[in-house]
Amino acid sequence: MILRLTTLIFIMAVSSVNAVHASELLVEKKSFTTKNFATVSGEVIPEVTIGWEAYGELNEAKDNVILITHFFSGNSHAAGKYTPNDPQSGYWDAIIGPGKAIDTNKYYVLSSDTLVNAFPHLPHVITTGPASINPKTGKPYGLDFPVVTIRDFVNVQHALITSLGINKLHAVVGASMGSLQALEWSVAYPDMVERMVSVIGAGAMDAWTITALEHWARPIKLDPNWNHGNYYDGEAPLQGLASTLTMITQQAMHPVAFNQSSPKQETLPQAALESVTNGLPATDFWFGAAAKNAPLADANHILYLVRANQLFVAGHEQDLATGLSKVKAKTLFLPAKNDLLLQPYLAKQAVEILKEQDKAPQYAEIDGIFGHLDGVYNIQSKATELAEFINQ
Amino acid sequence: MILRLTTLIFIMAVSSVNAVHASELLVEKKSFTTKNFATVSGEVIPEVTIGWEAYGELNEAKDNVILITHFFSGNSHAAGKYTPNDPQSGYWDAIIGPGKAIDTNKYYVLSSDTLVNAFPHLPHVITTGPASINPKTGKPYGLDFPVVTIRDFVNVQHALITSLGINKLHAVVGASMGSLQALEWSVAYPDMVERMVSVIGAGAMDAWTITALEHWARPIKLDPNWNHGNYYDGEAPLQGLASTLTMITQQAMHPVAFNQSSPKQETLPQAALESVTNGLPATDFWFGAAAKNAPLADANHILYLVRANQLFVAGHEQDLATGLSKVKAKTLFLPAKNDLLLQPYLAKQAVEILKEQDKAPQYAEIDGIFGHLDGVYNIQSKATELAEFINQ
């Protein structure tokens, strides 16, 4: 179980594979640059570069495109492998590939990195954010990087898509933070999006989630190495970052899976009884794993991701109903029944509004013991519903 | 709702009142000292002093005693008021008093502070912990204070009880961390405890809860003012402490009550869009309230409380079943249905074991929108069951 768990942490931190669904897709990471990108916050970023990858073939009409948008700690590697010996496939390899629910024999499946990716130091992640070089100073932006929103992520993807001559998306599908992008796509560009699938998602952040996200930011801000975002010449705030990553991992899970994945604690472990500064088996395990991943992440990027999520309400209109009134796509919402991070009430809120607007949203709950992560680990349990929705 | 909320935060931070159940009990805080207290960790504390208070009259046989044990951020003020003009009654005033579920016309209800109380700087809290003066050095113990366990809390209470000539407890009743003490009483002193009521409780900590508790410790440890526990001559780690207190408050609540209690967020608040260092309405509200309470708390005390809870398995035997095998008391478990902190599965685990041991534990779930806090706010919804159990 411990071995399994290493993968488990890794999925949150990086991307993942389910060995059962070993992929045959070979994937190439590509890069897209757009200049003078205007943000929702009213700033201009001189140059934005993000990574993307694609599975399947673009047809001549360029109307067989499915866009995949990624979760908070993920990246564009949604399916396939970069090399045949790659130990991991993309995180949704179970449902993306030849003959799978999102069938790459039919569709051109394009998956995009976001701005301010949490793990900019991972080899295959291409992103622009506070850790990127500010062309004006020749140094990393740090907190001079403008605050960005989910809409900004979508607008970068829009620039990518249109640069490829694509004007129509057969579907946009995303999990967690990816679901926010998928929904935002259908509000921001309603005439381009035909289908929208929100997995473990929400229509708008509520105070509960905004405050929960703030707890992810606090350990970073409290770490003296954070130094108000100026750490690129010195030590990164890795201790705070490790706390944050552990919190993300735990909140993305449900106690059942978390307990099964944790080492057992003997009664009154000697070290823990000697000092409150010593760890316990479970805390050493989870915080230790996060500490190993922390150097791949960037603390400021995580603060920016937190903020992008905190500001989310689909459409950025005065209320969710006004935003959702613009949606023309068919919609499918797949929250996870045991999700403790974005609980099903959040998806239900959007569904109820869409129903009132006579838009016939579809809704089904993913069961499982992983909680929020069931949107990744157990997505194949909804493969039939997903395929029917995509192909309808 | 905002006014209500201030009380809400206060209940977690300090103690509380429900105005509907305005108390007529006038209460006096008392103090108890025991010397050379031997801890489970094998240390000796030269002098331990804790506070306690009582409601009702001790009968001649001294067999009408009900002990109340308090939750993590609480103290012995479970019912009544210290002065007639006191704006707040004790936290369980709804069920403790003349003619109430725990009837002070019949019972002598004694409520005790614990060691390492989270809020030692509150006027009515009397406790011994890292912030207390070490007689050997004339300075606060800091991290030289020995690690203490729930059993130690119980052993101090045992010394208090027996000093009053009491050898039998009609019942021990506690919520959350108080439930751990109540259960530990029935394992450690099975011949003294006739009834045990565990409200929003657990029989043993699991990896999920141990790790969740560690997240309460981390902001304190990350705050540079914490200084490895040596801050009594300088600035206390109030920023870390405020993060911790906010986290405790949020996790003790359910999204429904939390959202109802939070200020509304306008779309794209300007300050939040300008910098990731600026707050949002909900985060300013909750972290701000916690920051006001932080000077009343002690950071090291909270680390010690976290550890005491992390080490809990009833009886400190090799497994929970062995510990529970010692229980002779009648038992009643009242978890809160929507609790996200100590979810009902934890109480159920103990109940299942007690059933296997043919001990007929009783079980009922408290409903409500407050989550964990329903064990305090909605306890009166189980007043009938509680009274029947106590009087049976």
- Tell me which residues of chain B have a pLDDT lower than 50: 1-21
Tell me the one-letter amino acid at B202: A
pLDDT digits (tens, 9 = 90+) for A90-147: 999 999 999 999 999 999 999 999 999 999 999 999 999 999 999 999 999 999 999 9
For B300, name the nearest residue in chain A, comparing CA atoms only. A276
Instruction: Tell me the nearest-neighbour CA distance from A186 into chain B, angstroms.
Output: 18
Identify which of B106, B13, B12, B93 has the alpha carbon closest to the alpha carbon of residue B53: B93
Rounded-to-integer distance, Cα A276 and Cα A273, Å: 8
Identify which of A122, A130, A129 has the alpha carbon closest to the alpha carbon of residue A228: A130
Read off the pLDDT of each residue in A80-99 and give the average, rounded to a whole number.
Answer: 95
Sign of CA dihedral A371, A376, A378, A384: positive
The residue ranges of DSSP E strands in chain A, in sequence order, are 30-38, 44-55, 65-69, 96-97, 102-103, 108-112, 133-134, 139-140, 171-175, 195-199, 330-334, 362-363
Calculate the average pLDDT of chain A. 94
A270 touches chain B (CB under 8 A): no
The answer for A 80-119 residues in CB contact with B (under 8 A) is none
Residue A224's CB is within 10 A of a number of other CB atoms, namely 14
B255-283 as b/e: b if 16+ CB within 10 A: bbbbbebbeebeebbeebbebbeebbbbb
Look up residue B320 and give its DSSP letter: H
Q: Who has greater pLDDT, A209 or A7?
A: A209
pLDDT-based confidence at residue A322 (cuts at 50, 70, 90): very high
Rounded-to-integer distance, Cα A339 and Cα A372, Å: 4
Rounded-to-integer distance, Cα A170 and Cα A244, Å: 36
Does the annotation mark B113 as catalytic? no
Does the annotation mark B339 as catalytic? yes
Looking at residue A375, its pLDDT comes to 98
B43 to chain A: which residues are within 8 Å by CB? Answer: none
The answer for B 129-158 residues in CB contact with A (under 8 A) is 143, 147, 149
Q: Using CA atoms in the order B299, B302, B304, B309, what is the torsion angle rounded to 10 degrees?
A: -160
| Total residues belonging to chain A | 392
Read off the pLDDT of each residue in A348-354 and give the average, rounded to a whole number.
Answer: 98
pLDDT digits (tens, 9 = 90+) for A258-282: 999 999 989 999 999 999 999 999 9
Rounded-to-integer distance, Cα B215 and Cα B222, Å: 11
Looking at residue A24, its pLDDT comes to 76
Instruction: Tell me the nearest-neighbour CA distance from B175 into chain A, angstroms.
Output: 21
B1 touches chain A (CB under 8 A): no
Tell me the one-letter amino acid at B89: S
- Please report where in the chains the tokens 């029989």 appear, as a residue: B203
State the catalytic residue, choosing from B77, B158, B254, B372: B372
Q: In the numeric block, which tokens belong to residue B346?
A: 């934890």
ipTM, 2 decimals?
Answer: 0.94
Radius of gyration of chain B (CA): 20
Residues sharing a CB contact under 8 Å with residue B42, sequence separation 6 or more, in sequence order? none
How is A326-387 classified by DSSP, letter by letter? T--SEEEEE-BTT-SSS-HHHHHHHHHHHHHTT---EE-PBP-SSGGGHHHHTGGGGHHHHH
Looking at residue B240, its pLDDT comes to 98
> What architecture (CATH level 2) is domain B2-391?
3-Layer(aba) Sandwich (3.40)
Looking at residue B349, its pLDDT comes to 98
- Test A276 with B147 for CB contact under 8 angstroms: yes
Q: Using CA atoms in the order B65, B69, B70, B72, what is the torsion angle rounded to 10 degrees?
A: 180
Sign of CA dihedral A77, A80, A81, A86: positive
Residue B385's CB is within 10 A of a number of other CB atoms, namely 16
Looking at residue A23, its pLDDT comes to 58
B223 touches chain A (CB under 8 A): yes
Instruction: Tell me the nearest-neighbour CA distance from B323 into chain A, angstroms.
Output: 11
